Structure 1
Amino acid sequence: AAEAASCRKMAALRLAVSGAGRTFLNPSNVAGVSQVNMSFSALSRGKKAALSTLGLLTAGGAGLALMLHQSVKASELELHPPSYPWSHSGMLSSLDHASVRRGYQVYKQVCSACHSMEYLAFRNLVGVSHTEAEVKTLAEEIEVVDGPDESGEMFTRPGKLSDYFPKPYPNPEAARAANNGALPPDLSYIVNARHGGEDYVFSLLTGYSEPPAGVSVREGLYYNPYFPGQAIGMAPPIYNEVLEYEDGTPATMSQVAKDVCTFLRWAAEPEHDQRKRMGLKLLMGAAILIPLVYYMKRHKWSVLKSRKIAYRPPK
């Protein structure tokens, strides 16, 4: 009798719980919640006009800022260098190695008198612009202090492939003293260190001119609109026929500037050609692998994506 009474109590409890659950889940008993309509079409005419005006002003301001950034930097009042069509600027374009060779000649005969390239060694030229025998000949033209020898003394020896390009000055103080207080920058990474890259260097080398009316330049400085402040301590380094190329190329000012800028681009990024070659290989491999991977994905997931899942409540 006690067991029957316990069963009747459990049945009554289940009935009460199920009834309460049905009452709670009944949609007619659920309090209505107002839905917020955030669509653009539901806004009033005034709000639509305000949002449209704000969008046009934002887009116009962004476009104007981009155009000003591309033309003139008004903050420093310096002329922004134009964009030149470099032969190596394409996605799959390599450097002009004949131009790199001529650019090294320009650096050696013109720029190395003041500027160093302390991060570049003679061995880096092998296979890029010169043969190994040619680079050995170039390296042997300099004398390097080495040692100590067996007697503890320092000695000089001809340069070799592992030696770095010689510095024009022993220390920065000597460089400043020889250039009226201005320190000539190292050119190893100058293309990456300046905004505009080789465009800036080319414009700087060919942009020397007389100062405009009302602008005075202190003695010992030269006017260049592409240099910050327009007054630069470096005299015009290149001009027509400043040197004679080994391959007979006419050494005009623009040709000399173009060649040395190409050389400086290679110096700042020796892996330039290899990087683009690897990118081309990656694109070619991806063109084959991506369709295969997509087909395998469709094949593996087709069973899961096409099956029908139905819920059958217990009776």
Structure 2
Amino acid sequence: MTLKTNIQSMKKTLVLIALAAGLSMAAQPTLAAGGAEHPRKGGFSFEGPFGTFDQGQLQRGYKVYREVCASCHSMSLMHFRTLAEPGGPFYDAHQVNPAENRFVKVLAAEVQVPDIDTETGEPVMRDAVPADRFPSPYLNATAAAGANGGAAPPDLSVMAKARHDGANYIYSLLSGYRAAPAGLKIGPTQYYNPYMAGDLTSYWSGEGHVPPGGFIAMPPPLMDGQVTYDDGSAETVDQYSKDVAAFIAWASDPKQVQRKRSGLGVLIFLFLFAGVTYVSYRRIWKGVAH
């Protein structure tokens, strides 16, 4: 076989490889059809390097969590006293310490937590105190799954950290329930949400592209007028979703604002230190050839 024949054979092989690669890449969108819609922006005040939490919004978000979400979702890492820490929804600059905050004492007393009677050793329920954790609505994960069709509701303590674009994702998911598109096969205990991650290719028999999103076992938890606000804010699904998303974002990182302020102070210090270092360098080595 001559050199010219070898070159022609190699060219044909490369063309076949390129064609196969092109067909493979063209097939990928079909295999990855669907996907979730990008979360909508909630316009949260705490976003960005200088953002801070709106205390009123955090208070409303806690109310939505306590009256709606807490019936299914736990926040096992959250203590009642944390609500009164600096930057928290019920922080009071005049308080002695978070555990003595008068608002938190009242809020904790509204909740029952399990305990053990010190005299009889029997399990009892008592009013919570600021030092207690948020109680779980179920005894364990098995009980939670059994009460919710086999899917245990996730803990919300760090949910905003566990999801990309946390607060915006939670806001979009809670306010984004829609009727399933025609041609989408959906189970009796499932709900369609375009912001839920998933691939609906195998469930789609309609025309056009596979719809974005996925199935979620949680029915729409919010409805207009469900929670009463004392500050006159709109009592709508959209507002509820924003407020509880902000609260969950704060609960996932209660020290966020303090970290931002500390980081800004460090950057200012480093900038000034760099300036002093440069001036010192110029003065010490002035006139010295190097």
Q: TM-score, normalised by structure 2?
A: 0.75
1:185 CA drift (Å)? 0.4
Residue of structure 1 aligned with 2:254, choices 243, 255, 270: 270
Deviations 1:42-61 (A, max 9, x none): xxxxxxxxxxxxxxxxxxxx
Which one-letter code corresponds to 2:78 in the other structure? L
- Mapping of residues 62-81 of structure 1, within 5 Å: 74=32, 77-81=35-39
Matched, 1:165 2:134: yes
Aligned position for 1:288: 272
Whether the 8 Å contact between 1:126 and 1:135 is mirrored in structure 2 is: yes
Matched, 1:299 2:268: no
Aligned position for 2:81: 123
Aligned position for 2:221: 237
Whether the 8 Å contact between 1:209 and 1:223 is mirrored in structure 2 is: yes
How far apart, in 2, do the equivalents of 1:76 and 1:189 lie?
27
Deviations 1:59-97 (A, max 9, x none): xxxxxxxxxxxxxx9466222224443221121111111
Which one-letter code corresponds to 1:129 in the other structure? P
SS in 2 for 1:205: helix
- Which ranges in structure 1 are unaligned for 5 or more consecutive residues? 1-72, 308-315
1:244 CA drift (Å)? 0.7
Q: TM-score, normalised by structure 1?
A: 0.69
Aligned position for 1:186: 155
Whether the 8 Å contact between 1:100 and 1:260 is mirrored in structure 2 is: yes
1:148 CA drift (Å)? 4.9
Aligned position for 2:177: 208
How far apart, in 2, do the equivalents of 1:74 and 1:145 lie?
47
1:274 CA drift (Å)? 0.3
Deviations 1:239-268 (A, max 9, x none): 221211122212111111111111011000
Percent of aligned pairs with the same residue?
Answer: 40
Whether the 8 Å contact between 2:42 and 2:242 is mirrored in structure 1 is: no
1:161 CA drift (Å)? 0.8
Larger RCO, structure (CA 8 Å, separation 6 or more): 2
How far apart, in 1, do the equivalents of 2:227 and 2:136 lie?
21
SS in 1 for 2:114: strand
State the aligned residue count: 234
Whether the 8 Å contact between 2:71 and 2:137 is mirrored in structure 1 is: yes
Relative to total residues, which structure has the larger helix share, 1 or 2? 1
Aligned position for 1:54: none
Task: Give the root-mean-square deviation of aligned CA atoms.
Answer: 2.0
Whether the 8 Å contact between 2:75 and 2:134 is mirrored in structure 1 is: yes
